[in-house]
Amino acid sequence: MGQSRSGTGEKTRLRFLLLALGLLCIWYLGSFFKIDTAGFERTFKGLAPLYGGIAFILLYVGVTFFVWFSKDVFKFLGAFVFGAFVSTYLIWIAESINACILFGLARHLGREFIEKSYGQRHRRFEQKVAGLDFFWLFLFRSVPLIPFRFLDLAAGLTALRFRKYLAAVILGSPLRIFWVQYIIEGVGRGGFNNPSALSCYLLQQKGLLAGSFAYLVLVAIVAVKLIKKKG
């Protein structure tokens, strides 16, 4: 009986070690990759809209999984090639796929280890997370406070039901994605290298400025909620 438990514990630690090392290797190796943005843009523009969109989704999922800091590149490419509305739809699909992959990896490779390592303290935290109203999960996905990647991994390490989290991903992500894509398309290619251009654009777009302020209020609400949960 003791040997069986010991063997199970070893397998649990091994799975978690594989998860940790895998994520570390992906982060490290990804820093050496250079993304040919001009080449990607030519590829997307050279394809029919449907095939260009499919290619964008596949590359977004594949490249951003291995190159963690490439999401911004694809957001810019998406806005410039497809426009704010279509790129929001494409990124939403890609991020939903990413959420399924990362949630599954964390759930199957890491949750059991975390549960056994932190015991009662982790179970109390799990109960809080699992008991979150759907509204709060929706809000966590909607506001640009926590990166999607970390949300996906953290959710997989808890007892949160996959269907509940996936529903929050599907319904909550578009608002956050569209807000970013709309600003990128409006400011243009050189805007983010010129802070004054971004400021002028926001001042000219009164509705967007008001929406951005409301968005910041949502961020503050989520931050307060996180602090209370941590406490």
pLDDT for 68 equals 63
Name the amino acid, one letter, at 58. Answer: L
Range of the domain at 177: 2-230
CB contact burial 59-87 (16+ within 10 A = b; e otherwise): bbbebbbebeebbebbbbbbbbbbebebb
Domain count within the chain: 1
C-alpha span between 176 and 145 (Å, rounded): 10
- Condensed to tens digits (0 to 9), the pLDDT of residues 64-104 reads 877 766 677 889 899 999 999 999 999 999 999 999 999 99
What the block records as the tokens of 158 is: 């808890």
pTM of the prediction?
Answer: 0.76
Tell me: pLDDT of 206 over 60: yes
- Condensed to tens digits (0 to 9), the pLDDT of residues 95-105 reads 999 999 999 98
Tell me: pLDDT of 165 over 90: yes
In this prediction, residue 202 has a pLDDT band, given cuts at 50, 70 and 90, of low
What the block records as the tokens of 75 is: 């957001």
> Mean of the per-residue pLDDT values for the chain?
77
